[in-house]
Amino acid sequence: MVMKSIANRQVHESMRGPLNYLLTGLFLAIVLSGGAIAWHHVGNGGDPLRLLVYSAREHAAMMVSRIHPDAFPPGASAEVKAWILSNRDELAADILSSKHSWVTTAEANCAQTTLERAAIIEFSYPTCRHAIASREDAAKLLIHESVHHFGIVDEDTADAVAHLIYRAWSSGILDWQPLSLGGEARSAHSAVWDEAQRRVIMHGGLGSATNLLNTTLSFDPTQNIWRHITLAAGSASPLPRFGHRSVLTNDNRMIVFGGYTDLGSGQWQSSGTILDLAGVRADGTGARWRTIRSNRVDSGYRAIRQSQTIVWAANRLVVWGGATPTSATGRTFVPEGGIYNPDTETWSSISMVNAPLRWSGHSAVWTGREMIVWGGKPLPAASGSSVGETNEGAIWSAASNSWRPMSLTNAPSARTEHSAVWTGEKMIVFGGSDRTGGIRGTGGVYNPATNSWESFASEVATQRVGHTAVWTGDEMLVWGGKTRDALYGSIVAFSPSTGAWRSLAVRSTPEGRDQHTAVWTGMSMIVFGGVGAAGSRLDTGGIFYP
C-alpha cells in the first residue's frame, strides 16, 4: 500500500494565485443548502472538508485534461512532462471516477491508496483537516493519489506530477473544453445552473431555421453529455418563445418569463411557465410545466429586446420594465411590473412611487434583500416617440415595497443592453450602447451600502454589446458580444477589489458570438449557442475553468 503525507511531501506548498478558490463562499453555501448535502454522498452532515475534497474531483480532472503543452515552465522535467501529456485523459478520468473513504482515527498520512486503477482513496480525517486548506490542496492530493493508480510507486514522482500540473495550470495558458455535439442550435434562449444535479438547463430560443423553439436541453459538464428534457405523460408543452428570461428558485424550480411567442407581431409576453427540476430525472424524462398566467393584458408596442427583467427575490418572482399602451391611438403608456407567488399562483403590485419607469434595455440584480434597477430607456412619450438611454437607477426594498434613488455622482454614462452582476456586496455594470448608438467599453461598480459609484475604463476590455458576464466569487468574467463589425471570442476578467482588468491567455476558445448564454457553475463558466460570424445559429460552446 502506498501512503502519502501532504505535509511531509509539500504538495500543498504556498502557490496561491488569483485563480485560487477558498472554502468560504461556495462550500458554505452548499453546506447551508438543504438538498445539496445528500447529493454529494459524503455523509457526516455535509462536513466542509469532505465536500471540499469531493468537489475538488471535477476541478482536478479539468486541470489535468486541459493542460496546454506550452504551459509547462522552463526547466520542467521532460520525462514528467511527457508522462502527463501521454496520460492526461486517462488520469483525468481516474480522478473523476475516484471513490473516497474516510477514517476518524489519526493516521501518519493524510491519504493512501493501492496501485490499482480507480482504487478507493482513503483519507484520515484528523490529518487531512490540518493539511488541506483550499480546493487546490485537495486537487493536488487527488492528482498525486491517482498517479499511483497507474502503477507508479515512487512518492517523489507522484509529487512531481502534481506540482508540475498545478504550475502549468497557474501559468494562465488555458484551453477551453469544447462541449460535445448534441446540443440543438439556438440563440436568444435562456439558461440556468441546476446545482442540485450539476447540470445546465437551457430553454427556448430561435432555432437554426429561424423557427421558435419550446424544447429544453440539459448539459452535464462532468460527463460532457447532452440530454433532451422530455415531457411526462399528460403534461402540456410550454409555448415556444425567444428573448425571454429564466431564474432558478431556492426550491429548484426554473421559471421562464417574458420574451416573444411569434416572429411577426413583435409583441412581448407578460406570461411564463415553471418547470420543477426536482421532478426531471437524470435521463431527462418526467418534465412537467405549469403556466404562469398574467394579471394584465398586453397589446404590445414594438419589438424591443430586453423589455423586462426578472429576479428571484427569496420566495417571489419580481418582474420589472416594459410598457403597455392604454389605447392603440393615444399611446399613453403604463409601466409594467409585478410580484408573482408561484405557490399561490397570484400576483401583487409593486409600488410606482419613485420607481424607475423603464421601457427596455435596463439591468436588474437581486442583493438578497433588494432589487437594483439601472440604465435602459425610460418610458416613451405619449406620442410614441423614441427616447434616449439613461444612467439613472433606483433600489426596490422587498420588505417595504418602496424605492429609493441611486446616486448619479461618478456613475457610468447612459446606456442600454449592458451586463450587470452582483458580487455579494456590489453591482458591476459593463458595456452596452449609448443614446448616440455608440458601443461602450466602460462601466462602473456600485455600492448600495454607501450609495456610491466607482467608474472604470480599460483598453483590455473593449467595447461590446450582446456579451455575457458571470461572477466567479473573485472576478467578473466577460465573454463574447460584438461591436459594429466584429464578434468577440476572447475572455477578460475584472477584479472590483483591485479595479484591474486582465486578458486571459487562452489558446483555444469557442467561436465569437452574441445572443448566447453563459452560466457559472461555482467552478467554471459554460457558454452555448448564439449567433456566429456567418449569421447562423450555433450548436457549439465551451467550458472555461479560470
Q: How far is CA 81 from CA 17, 89, 114, 119, 541, in A?
A: 22, 14, 24, 24, 29
Instruction: Provide the residue ranges of all domains of the chain, joining segments of one domain with +.
Output: 2-172
Q: Which residues of the chain have pLDDT under 70?
A: 1-46, 172-174, 265, 295-306, 325-332, 381-386, 505, 507
pLDDT of residue 294: 73
Q: Taking a C-beta distance cutoff of 8 angstroms, is the pair 539, 217 a contact?
A: no
- The residue type at 466: G
Q: Taking a C-beta distance cutoff of 8 angstroms, is the pair 127, 3 a contact?
A: no
Rounded Cα–Cα distance for residues 193 and 221 (Å): 11
- 2-172 topology per CATH: Collagenase (Catalytic Domain) (3.40.390)
Task: Label residue 10 exposed, middle or buried (CB < 10 Å: 0-12, 13-18, 19+).
Answer: exposed
pLDDT of residue 169: 80
The x, y and z cell numbers of residue 65, run together, are 485534461
pLDDT of residue 464: 93
For the entire predicted model, the pTM comes to 0.75
pLDDT of residue 436: 77
pLDDT of residue 451: 98
First to last CA, the chain: 35
pLDDT of residue 316: 96
Sheet of strand 316-325, all strands in order from the earlier edge strand to the far edge? 309-313, 316-325, 333-341, 346-348
pLDDT of residue 68: 77
β pairing state of 177-178 and 289-292: unpaired
pLDDT of residue 34: 31
Rounded Cα–Cα distance for residues 203 and 188 (Å): 10
Rounded Cα–Cα distance for residues 234 and 232 (Å): 6
